[in-house]
Structure 1
Amino acid sequence: MSGKIRKITPNLWFDFQAEEAAKLYTSLFQDSRINRVTRYGKESYDPTSEGKAMTVEFELDGQYFIALNGGPEFKFTEAISFVVHCEDQAEVDHFWNGLSEGGDEKAQQCGWLKDRFGVSWQIVPTKLNELLAGGDPDRAGRVMKALLQMHKIDIAELERAYEG
Structure 2
Amino acid sequence: MDLTSFEAQVPALADALRARGWRLATAESCTGGLIAAACTAMAGSSDWFERGFVTYSNQAKTELLGVDAGLIVRHGAVSREVACAMAEGALAHSPAELSVAVTGIAGPGGAVPGKPVGTVWLAIGRRGAAAQAELLQLSGDRAAIRAQTVSAALQRLQQAAAA
TM-score after normalising by structure 2:
0.27
Choose between structure 1 and 2 for higher RCO, CA contacts under 8 A separated by at least 6 residues. 2
Which entry has the higher C-alpha Rg, 1 or 2? 1
